[in-house]
Amino acid sequence: MRNTRQRRQQIVQLLVQHGNVQVADLVERFDVSSVTIRADLTHIESQGLATRNHGGATLVRTPPQERDIHEKDALNLPLKESIGVRAAQLVKPGDNIIIDSGSTTMTLARHLREHRDVTVMTNGLNIAWELANAPGVSLLLAGGTLRKQSLSLHGSQAEASLGAYSFDTLFLGVDGLDLQFGLTTHHEAEASLNHRMVERARKVVVLTDASKFGRVSLHRIARLDQVHTVITDDGISGEYREGLQKLGIEVIVAEPSL
């Protein structure tokens, strides 16, 4: 699986560099069969990043570059803060919730410190740190392999740790939200874990600033028909507000923090 993931990431890099790739060239470069390469290109096409053509594929849109978690923390901070405040208002005593790792979801964690009788599971070390001393929050931390770039735990152990639980709400951060392709992120293993989180929660709430709308990263997390609520800022376009509402998704625009 790791070799597959790395090869597909390299193919996307070649698409970005050259605009197109050929099956024969990729077979020679990676020393795999043409069947394997065609499966890779089909997967990349399913993410909305390329279109297949005779003998290869052509780039459709360039996936955004992933930033380190510390860089993300500094981006659009006032907007993220207001989104975190609004998300915290949805959490009630007795709730069992999942908070995905991320810079926007970390602001939610920060505003849960004074909550009471709340159980939180997270795969984010940054989230766990924010809630470690919160007296009214019971904290569950997923196991797995640490991805240092995002301070997140992922892998089969992390996914297995979710199996014994049922949660009221998942609060999910994303790298991209597209009306056609759904929710996406940069890292395949994180996307797999996020997908498992979606399955274990009765309600899915996406926390994202408006800059993420229209973006498509390499790995799909979930379809939009699996989302119940999106909390964002007033930068959301009319197209996206209307498009989400037509899908039956509640759109909450967070008031700017003072």
Per-residue pLDDT at 73 exceeds 60: no
**Domain annotation covers residue 110:** yes
Q: Are 78 and 129 part of one and the same domain? A: yes
Per-residue pLDDT at 255 exceeds 80: yes
The alpha carbon dihedral of 45, 51, 57, 59 has a sign of negative
Number of structural domains found in the chain = 2
User: Which residue spans within 68-196 are E strands per DSSP?
Assistant: 96-99, 118-122, 137-141, 145-147, 152-154, 167-173, 176-178, 182-185
pLDDT-derived band at 48, boundaries 50, 70, 90: confident
Q: Are 158 and 79 part of one and the same domain? A: yes
Q: Are 160 and 103 part of one and the same domain? A: yes
Pairing of strands 118-122, 96-99: parallel
**Domain annotation covers residue 174:** yes
Q: Are 53 and 73 part of one and the same domain? A: no
| Mean pLDDT to the nearest integer, 12-40 | 89
**Domain annotation covers residue 64:** no
**Domain annotation covers residue 10:** yes
Q: Are 48 and 90 part of one and the same domain? A: no
**Domain annotation covers residue 156:** yes
**Domain annotation covers residue 258:** no
**CATH number for 42:** 1.10.10.10
**Domain annotation covers residue 25:** yes
Q: Which two tokens stand for residue 257?
A: 């923090």
Please list, in sequence order, all residues whose beta carbon lies within 8 angstroms of the beta carbon of residue 177, skipping any fewer than 6 positions away. 183, 184, 206, 208, 212, 213, 214, 215, 224, 230
**CATH number for 244:** 3.40.50.1360
Please list, in sequence order, all residues whose beta carbon lies within 8 angstroms of the beta carbon of residue 109, skipping any fewer than 6 positions away. 84, 99, 120, 122, 126, 127, 130, 131
Please tell me the pTM assigned to this model.
0.76
| Mean pLDDT to the nearest integer, 154-172 | 93
How distant, in Å, are the alpha carbons of 28, 40, 89, 169, 248 from that of 229? 46, 32, 13, 10, 9
Q: Are 118 and 20 part of one and the same domain? A: no
Per-residue pLDDT at 179 exceeds 70: yes
Question: Please, what's the b/e burial string for 20-55 (b: 16 or more CB within 10 A of its CB; e: otherwise)?
Answer: ebebeebbeebebeeebbbebbebbeebbbbeeeee
Q: Are 154 and 191 part of one and the same domain? A: yes
Q: Are 90 and 26 part of one and the same domain? A: no
Encode pLDDT of 100-125 as tens digits: 998 899 999 999 999 999 999 999 99
Encode pLDDT of 208-250 as tens digits: 999 899 888 878 899 999 999 999 999 999 999 999 999 999 9
Q: Are 193 and 229 part of one and the same domain? A: yes
Q: Are 49 and 109 part of one and the same domain? A: no
Please give the residue range of the domain that contains residue 232.
69-253
